[in-house]
Structure 1
Amino acid sequence: MSKMISTIKCTVLAASLIAMTPGCKVDVFPTDRYTEESIYSNASNMELYIAGMYAEFQKFQFGQFPIGYSNATDALTDIEKYTSTVAGNGTVNILATDASRVNAAGPQLNYWQTGYERIRRVNEFISGLNKYAKVDDGTRKQYEAEARFIRGYVYLWLVKLHGSVVLFDNLDQYSSNNHQRSSEEDCYKFIAADFQFAADNLPKQWPSTKTGRATMGAAYGMLARTWLYAASIAEYDKKQFNQDEFTGIPAASAQTYYQNAVTAAEAVIGLANQGYYALEANFTNTFYNKNTKEALFKVDYVAPQLTHTYDLGFAPPRDATGQCLVYGVPTAEMVDEFERIDGTKFLWSNPVHAANPYDNRDPRFYATILYNGSKWKSRTLNTTPGDGTEGFVEYASTTEPHKTVTGYYIKKMLDSTNTTFVVNASTQQWIEMRYAEVLLIHAEAKTKLNDISGAQQSLNKVRNRAGMPNTTASTAAQMMEAIEHERKVELAFEGHRYWDLRRWRKAHLVLNGVKFTGHRITGSGAGTTYEVVSCDNTNRQFTPALYYIPIPTTELQNNQALTQIKGW
């Protein structure tokens, strides 16, 4: 339920406060700068400090990862293709097709330094809060809960990447540079403890004067996500891909962690039953209704102070001819994943389906994909090669095509009313966690606990909201297949697919030794043809070693006790 309106306006000031207190260690009370005591004895200063730390969530807005581009990790998977072939806009393609580019010496997929800088700031805040803050115990715990919510979020990203990382929860630990990694299981337990503390001490809802803050529901949602990841590693990893002593989670822990995920998800469901959360009646509105109850945690934008460039990066070229960047576009694999409206699988081999492939599809298809013949901003989209502005162009025929290389464009989260985004940027919200994801977490964990009926109920809530019939899955295997499908279409382009394939240990099967595809569409009406064409000029590569991204070499040099993850 976070809006980040009033709080984000304070980010620059908060950053200034932090910058003026390096290490937060002073011996006197200078009159020309902030001291620890002055920060924590002043409620306004504390508000600025905590507000500044919320800026961490912007690093991951719109499915972004700190390699610099929105939806970048989805473009490492089967659902999206980046259009550029050169480093920069095309870095994600380089990483997707050359596993050797991910290494300890390189910057790729590296959040280590940035993440640990934020963790230190969080720990400094908690330390100062407990030493100097003149607040009652409830307020103190509430501030700490917010800080630990942020710390848990940062650590979850680090652990998703590396599995085993260094855990810091107090400033005394920073007195030396001898810190070994903790086990992957202990890392997940640490993250879960942060989110549990946050859930125990955050309000269900903030007053309107303090919008932009983590809530109880957001903490429980993150807790559910954390335990689902831990349970998945316990079930699927089985030490098949890395023999490092600190990576992996015992298989015996899987059922406990799935149950923990269910418990956390049901806490959110309980809050929904109290009226705090709900699925948006119209799937499309979820991403544009600033007051949507579907958002457990989101970042709002207010022009001109806080904007983003999502439309500039993904809108079809004619929206701003010559200036749209078209970083990434949907693959044919993503397009074909959307079922028919009756719940049957779409098949090109079915002549009825193939005759009109974009008719009678899952309503989420029309909210997610821009296809040949679709209506967009008062025009009919033409993605055939004959349209020189936004028609299909073969991948790698030019280094920066700034148009589709698959025959499709992303529609989800684009603002159809924004015609000035080149000059004025964009302000639609980014939802970091929404209620639909919690229901899918609940369905998956329930399936793993063999409660098929309970899993069906949560899965069907998501499907029914979209206008789709109940699932026909009735066994655990069928349910997992249905859940993977549902996560793929419901959460498309929200930055989940890469991490799902990793935690299920399916990435080396789905993303390796394969070229993904698009459709070269020619003709019109009954004479339209849909030719399957590769949108990759070389096979994708995902080696088993990539389940644990190496620790940057510079960090090993800075920390004498830290060892590299085996295999790197």
Structure 2
Amino acid sequence: MKNIKYNRFTNLIGLLVLPVILLNCESFIEVDLPDSQITGDHAFSDIGTAEAAIANVYSKLRSGVLVSGNSSGISILLGSYTDELQTYNTGLTEFQFYQNSLIATNTSVNSLWTGSYNLIYAVNAVKEGLENSKTISPNDKDRLLGEALFLRVYIHFYLLNLFGDIPYVTTTDYITNSTIGKLPQSQVYMLMIDDLKDAKSLMPPVNHSQFKTRPGIDTVKTLLARIYLYIEEWGLAEIEANSLINSEKFVWVNSLDEVFLKNSPGTIWQLMPNRQGAPTIEGQSFIFKMGPPPNRALNKLMIDIFEIGDMRKELWIGSVSGETETWYYPHKYKQNTNEATSNEFSILFRLEEMYLIRAEARTHLGDLDGAKIDINKIRSRASLPDTSAETAQQLLDAVIQERRIEFFSELGHRFFDLKRMGLINSTLSPIKPGWNPTDTLLPIPESELLLNPNLLPQNAGY
């Protein structure tokens, strides 16, 4: 059995067995694989093994990497870092996010970086295996290649917005990866757009994944819309958002109680729990039954920013009262114990984002009436009157307010919105002691800088 070499640059992992197992490595090592394991082209000799390989990536995302609903994911970490969550358990690494006391050896920061690059390696291994496979049908190969390209972009997107200039890793070659350097953010965005365009051309027009637990062509369009918004390509952002809103594949959910159910017709992409009947990780992480909160709760600042009559406060926030104090928690996901069936899956993309992307894009394009329509779509469902905004700046203020309310505790939207709109310093410096302008980026893990000097310099402020 031939040896496989691994590069510690990002704790790179290999796809080894059926079902696929990810092997973390601590240094430059060689591993002799047992006879029972299969590698390379053999792992992609049929559709079942290829599906298992890529399904493992979704499992890792759900259970502990980047977008997981637990304390290693950005919903909690960035919610604590901004003005959404308050951390009560001082023993958690998220407490350093809440206190704005991050250092380059923070274990959560290290996990965000290494866990994400581990999955990027796994995705690249899937892509290379598919490209070399001579037995998987062309249709299946194209579909899975599209998923692999999408996942590569999806993970890089968050790394870019967390760490700034980063490597864009497109190969499993350990020699290349051991010396890879950072690229400017503008260049990374262009590489991501190219990958998404390729993914769009490969994916079938209809996503047959039950409950939308696998990304399809519409998921690609959703991420494209978000990226175009972030790089201020307003016309392209509107086009992609339009394509989702007008596709008739997704239906606006009129009831706030039904937005986060697993069969919600407005969901574009979600991840199922690890077993039937289990709750989402978000439900387990956010809901508590007694005070004071054991780990975290909504920041009181969040409670105060809802308009009178906003039903999202009533239906998406839970509370626990003590003798002298009341604490609040995100209650978008209601299930937090095992039941006969899982009522909710973890939502990564939903239709509401497309309306707010289009509203923002339309405002910049001068279509103020169209922007109002989209904003009012969100407000009406929350039982609020139409927006009173009239000018372009007032509409942009209305968009950021609706995004704050609509997406609280979801995947770091608040952090990314404040940063890209130039509001993060003025918003957080009054409420975060010691907040500095350089805190808009996380530190690159110190261990990674020691292993690969091409990742230098460290982000400013660390």
Would you call these one fold, judging by a TM-score over 0.5?
Answer: yes
**1:68–1:465: structure 2 CA closer, same or farther, 3 Å change rule?**
closer
Secondary structure of the structure 1 residue equivalent to 2:157: helix
Aligned AA (1:105) = T
Deviation digits for residues 185-229 of structure 1 (CA, Å, limit 9, x no counterpart): 011112222223223322343336796311111111111112222
Give yes or no for the alignment of 1:333 onto 2:301: yes
| Number of the residue aligned with 1:229 | 230
Q: In the alignment, which residue of structure 2 is the partner of 1:490?
A: 406
Q: How does 1:136-151 map to 2 (within 5 A)?
A: 136-151=137-152
- Supply the AA of the counterpart residue of 2:370: G
- For structure 1, which runs of at least 5 residues remain unmatched after alignment? 1-10, 21-25, 232-256, 341-360, 372-380, 393-403, 515-538
Which residue identity lines up with residue 471 of structure 1 in the other structure?
A: T
Given that 1:64 and 1:72 are in contact with CA atoms closer than 8 Å, whether structure 2 keeps it comes out as no
> Are 2:48 and 1:44 aligned?
yes
Aligned CA RMSD, in angstroms, stands at 3.3
Deviation at 1:302? 6.3
Distance in 2 separating the partners of 1:363 and 1:54: 33
| Alpha-carbon distance, 1:476 to partner | 1.0
Would you say the 8 A contact 1:299–1:432 is kept in 2?
Answer: yes
The equivalent residue for 1:517 is none
1:500–1:64 Cα change, 3 Å: farther
Which TM-score applies when normalising by structure 2?
0.84
Say whether residues 1:297 and 2:249 are aligned partners. Answer: no
Instruction: Show the counterpart of 2:379.
Output: 463
**CA distance in structure 1 between the aligned counterparts of 2:18 and 2:343, rounded to whole angstroms:** 22
Measured at CA, do residues 65 and 258 of structure 1 come closer, stay the same or move farther in structure 2, by a change above 3 Å? farther
In the other structure, the counterpart of 1:14 is 19
Q: Match of 1:433, SS?
A: strand
Letter in 2 for 1:35: T
- State the one-letter code of the partner of 1:193: D
TM-score normalised by length of structure 1 = 0.70
Task: Determine if the alignment matches structure 1 residue 315 to structure 2 residue 287.
Answer: yes
**1:266: which partner in 2?**
242
Give CA deviations for 1:139-167 in whole Å, capped at 9, x if unaligned.
32221110011111110111011111011
The higher relative CO (CA closer than 8 Å, separation ≥ 6) is in 1
Instruction: Map 1:429-440; keep pairs closer than 5 Å.
Output: 429-440=345-356
Deviation at 1:184, TM superposition (A): 0.6
Kindly state the Cα deviation for residue 41 of structure 1 after the two structures are TM-superposed: 1.6
> 1:121 aligns to what?
122
> After the TM superposition, which residues 152-301 of structure 1 pair with which residues of structure 2 at under 5 Å, given as runs?
152-172=153-173, 174-175=175-176, 177-207=178-208, 212-231=213-232, 257-271=233-247, 275-288=248-261, 290-301=262-273
**1:411/1:19 CA distance change after superposition, 3 Å:** closer
Q: What SS does the aligned partner of 2:348 have?
A: strand
Aligned to 2:416: 499
SS in 2 for 1:431: strand
Q: How far apart, in 2, do the equivalents of 1:176 and 1:332 lie?
A: 44
Cα pair distance change 1:60/1:170, threshold 3 Å: closer
Pick the structure with greater CA Rg: 1
Larger deviation: 196-205 or 455-464? Answer: 196-205
**TM-aligned CA deviation for residue 266 of structure 1:** 1.7
Residue 76 of structure 1: which of 74, 81, 89 is its match? Answer: 81
Unaligned runs of 5+ in 2: 1-15, 25-29
Q: Deviations over 1:437-473 (max 9, x none)?
A: 1111111122122221222222222222333222221
Q: Which residue of 1 aligns with 2:39?
A: 35
Cross-structure match for 1:95: 97
> 2:330 corresponds to which residue?
410
- Which of 349, 355, 368 is the equivalent residue of 2:316? 368
AA matched with 1:278? V
Change (3 A) 1:31 1:63: closer
The 10-residue stretch of structure 1 (105-114 or 49-58) with the greater mean CA deviation from structure 2? 105-114
Amino acid at match of 2:86: K
Which residue matches 1:549? 442
CA displacement at 1:431 relative to structure 2 = 0.7
Q: Distance in 2 between matches of 1:299 and 1:151?
A: 17
CA contact (8 A) 1:61 1:432 kept: no
